[in-house]
Structure 1
């Protein structure tokens, strides 16, 4: 019998990529799932695909505190409680610091950091009561600053620090706080990444076909939640980057620069 049977699982940003894969994986495990996103059409399509299962959809922009509150309130109204919160909603960016508009970095921070803070804050009383789990879907960029992703890296470093502080505060409460770093995973995040003007770039500079699938990533996250892990870093490249940056930071600088640049131009 699944550990997640009849548990109430909340996944932000569930209309695409890893979030969508998480929604579907938890439904398969017998959980009651609630998810939010900005695109109602995608959410409705997801709900239609799973019309016989306990799936709540809600249109929300997690960069707005009131949207986060309304979403969590709707979850409680529909399901009565929350056992697991997965802060998955996020946006990336691709622009050099010298070119990027400051509002672009603010937008990334509002979605990635403040979205995590607000949804967690509003859901926390229920999670504490159930001795449940809070998850942040982060990135290798939370361990290692990536060129062209300064705001994204800053937001993920902030998420790590905030969740680590929360984990320590709740250490004796029975609540598990975990952050997940998928590494390069095939999803919509690079297509939706913001350019220097804060607009979606619309295409991925990476070879998506060679990356871990969103479905495989979701299964790793489920297993980590089940085992109440502290953190997981996925993919060989991700683990290699974290270790190199910890023990050989100057070498990591050069290797990361080589990976993202060609002839002095940002190509990835």
Structure 2
């Protein structure tokens, strides 16, 4: 009997990447899992794989408030409660702000920030009752603004601040609120990052092979949930970036600029 055995865990965006790794690990740990995503075919294949487990899937666009309410209502109808909510669903972008349509920024904010707010709002009464856990999958971009990711950084800064407010509000209610900030992690999020016209770019310009795997990120995240940590910053690069930006911000500006630009052009 482990920590997650028989706990009802909701993971948004669980059909691929870190979300999928979390779903895999949680089911192996004996949790009752529910996940959602926009791609019904991927969800269907995932449900077939775990047909013998306590596992439900729901086609959901987390940027849509009504979709989020339907998803959470379905989880409660099937399982009766929610112990842990992991707000994992997210999208990124790669485009200079001056070249970007406002719809790019708006779409990133709707998924990353409002998707987290919607799902948490509808799950909150059950998590308070179970003295459970709320997790926000944030990013190093929530500590340090990244070029070409202005909307993504804004959404993750918003998630961090909102989660901190929520944690403080619930401090005496027995609810654990935590945000996780992976550094560069091998994930599909960069492959579908929005371009300046709010369309998926379909490829990553980063070396995915040298990054932390989604599976390792999931292991660290679940361990932090069990230990009820306040925050989790992953990878040495991520920790260095947060440190540099806090104590040497001007130097961090130059180093980040050098990493992302070559000959004045955004290359990552």
Q: Partners of 1:260 and 1:49 in 2: how far apart?
A: 39
Q: TM-score by structure 1 length?
A: 1.00
Is 1:108 the counterpart of 2:108 in the alignment? yes
Offset at 1:47?
0.9
Offset at 1:69?
0.2
Residue number in structure 2 paired with 1:227? 227
Q: Partners of 1:199 and 1:16 in 2: how far apart?
A: 19
Residue number in structure 1 paired with 2:125? 125
- 1:201-223, Cα deviation, whole Å (9 max, x unpaired): 00000000000000000000000
- 1:47-104, Cα deviation, whole Å (9 max, x unpaired): 1111111110000000000000000000001111000000000000000011000011
Q: Partners of 1:222 and 1:89 in 2: how far apart?
A: 16
Q: Partners of 2:27 and 2:231 in 1: how far apart?
A: 23
Is 1:158 the counterpart of 2:158 in the alignment? yes
Residue number in structure 2 paired with 1:79? 79
Residue number in structure 2 paired with 1:9? 9
Residue number in structure 2 paired with 1:199? 199
Residue number in structure 2 paired with 1:43? 43
Q: Partners of 1:239 and 1:47 in 2: how far apart?
A: 36
- 1:238-266, Cα deviation, whole Å (9 max, x unpaired): 00000000000000000000000000000
Q: Partners of 1:242 and 1:259 in 2: how far apart?
A: 15
Offset at 1:108?
0.3
Moved over 3 A (4+): none
**DSSP-derived class of the 1:34 partner:** strand
- The equivalences for 1:255-266 within 5 A come to 255-266=255-266
Offset at 1:151?
0.1
Q: TM-score by structure 2 length?
A: 1.00
Residue number in structure 2 paired with 1:252? 252
**DSSP-derived class of the 1:9 partner:** strand
Is 1:88 the counterpart of 2:68 in the alignment? no
Unaligned ranges ≥5, structure 2: none
Q: Partners of 2:139 and 2:44 in 1: how far apart?
A: 28
Q: Partners of 2:90 and 2:15 in 1: how far apart?
A: 12
Offset at 1:188?
0.1
